[in-house]
Structure 1
Amino acid sequence: MKKILTIITILAVSVSLFVGCTKTSTADDSLTKVKKAGTITVGLDDSYPPMEFKDSTNIIKGFDIDMINDIGKKMGLKVKIVPTAWDGIFLALKANKFDVIQSTVSITDERKQTMIFTKPYIYGGNAIFVRTNYSAINSDKDLDGKTVGIQMGTTAQGVLSKLTGIKEVKKYNSMTEAFLDLKAGRIEAVVSDPQVGDYYIADKKSDFKRVKSMLNQEPVGIGFRKTDVALRDAYQKAIDELKKDGTLSKLSIKWFGHDIYK
């Protein structure tokens, strides 16, 4: 009888230990890992000015870059930027190439199936940009029969797919390439986030203008693996503090010319 009780006790302890180990292995240690490393790695596509881009000296800068560095300071972490092509950035996050994506990522229902996000820290969407001296496009209805440029993998592709009559949607690896083709007259319009297109207008006022009507508006957030809730929450806390202390307003004025947080 004692032997039977002993065996039962051993089995019970073994099951308890197994369950305990299972819980530990599946626990969310995302924040702990980052803190232990002392560095948070951030994936982004560095061809999307003024959010994230390389300047003439090959230094990566932009609104998101400044914001990321300020978040790192709030969290007490060093920041490592991992430049990644947009068309592979979500797979790279899943493969643990970096801890977070902060690269003007629109929050969509499709993306929420595989990722978790912070609250929106900016609102983007899809606006139409044309050459300054071009008057044939004044709304989405005027895209009929036109060739339109977009960046590959952006939400612009889905938005334009709902419109009928567009001659061709030409996909580019970067917005820079799209705007160069627009300037050269190889395409009639570019569809992109308003912040991005407005930056090109500010830099080249004589070349481009934005059509008044927007195709849509989209919340932009920072993306994390679904398991990394603790890291996402700590990142969100840092963003909230930057918003409260006026840092994000200063960055907005620096990069967009006005305070989008008012």
Structure 2
Amino acid sequence: MKKILAIIMGTILIASVFIGCKNATQKNEDGLNTLEKVKKSGVLTIGLNDTYPPMEFRDESQKLVGFDIDLGEEIAKKLGVKCEIKTNEWKGIILSLKANKYDMILSTMSITDERKKVIDFSNPYIVGGQRIVVKKGTDNIKDEKDLFNKVVGCQLGSTGEISASKIEGIKEVKKYDGVTEAFNDLAVGRINAVIADGQVAGYYLKKRGEDLVLLDAKLTKEPVGIGFRKDDKELKEEVQKALDELKEEGTLSKLSEKWFGYDIYK
């Protein structure tokens, strides 16, 4: 009886292993990784939030423009495919990546330890940082210590929000879906300051006039990278190769001069 039971169990085990191997082979033969899917379809889909000038935003004619838009187009060219942009609310941008709404995130995303737990990143293509913006004529705010008992605005889910949450004594951290909304509230006096990426703030202030001022104080130093699903190693490597070539060829420097007014890669 024991021999018969052993034979039956052995047969089941062998069958299970065979079926498992067959399924794995089937997946390898018929399934495509993301890079292969991109190459086959001829389209690289990029997820971003379109409320962060000069990185990604809508111009006067509602056309999607910005540094990351141009960079996405250049990366797609390197891969030999077309670039397709899919916009997403910032607070759900990582969840949408993991749900396969797009192939990667190219949206001025700072590389943080928390984010690295759930997605992978390229090497930094920009090193940014959070700075303070105040209304022109504000004499009582010079650095983060002066934010005590003040109402401070930031973009919801951004590293600006993280920086604001770490400053002791702030009366209220007001969170906005887009950083432009925060600047508008600052201009009319609804809040006392905004914490945002320095390059983004500098561009926005230049475009809107002289009603707001970007302070010299730097709160953080933040590397910005492209986000990928953790199992998309092949796509990540191919995009990183494209980034390296674009930097070596001087394309990134040209984009920097176009959108920031100076070469951040020097």
Superimposed CA distance per residue, residues 22-47 of structure 1 (whole angstroms, 9 cap, x where no aligned partner): 26637871211111111011010001
Superimposed CA distance per residue, residues 10-29 of structure 1 (whole angstroms, 9 cap, x where no aligned partner): 98697356336326637871
Decide which moves more: 99-108 or 200-209.
200-209
Instruction: Specify the alignment match of 2:184 in structure 1.
Output: 180
Match of 2:45 among 34, 41, 45: 41
Question: Are the equivalent residues in 2 in contact too, given 1:131–1:182 (CA < 8 A)?
Answer: yes
Aligned identity (percent) is 52
Question: Are the equivalent residues in 2 in contact too, given 1:28–1:230 (CA < 8 A)?
Answer: no
Matched, 1:226 2:230: yes
CA distance 1:50–1:24, shift in 2 (3 Å):
farther
Match of 1:119 among 123, 141, 152: 123
Match of 2:35 among 31, 48, 51: 31
Distance 1:180 1:161 in 2: 21
Gaps of 5+ in 2: 1-9
Alignment of 1:237-252 (within 5 A): 237-252=241-256
CA distance 1:88–1:14, shift in 2 (3 Å):
closer
Instruction: Specify the alignment match of 2:58 in structure 1.
Output: 54
Instruction: Specify the alignment match of 1:18 in structure 2.
Output: 20
Question: Are the equivalent residues in 2 in contact too, given 1:200–1:208 (CA < 8 A)?
Answer: no
TM-score, normalised relative to structure 2? 0.91
TM-score, normalised relative to structure 1? 0.92
Question: Are the equivalent residues in 2 in contact too, given 1:28–1:228 (CA < 8 A)?
Answer: no
Matched, 1:85 2:81: no
Match of 2:212 among 208, 213, 222: 208
Distance 2:11 2:234 in 1: 36
Gaps of 5+ in 1: 1-7
CA distance 1:21–1:48, shift in 2 (3 Å):
same
**Superposed CA RMSD:** 2.2
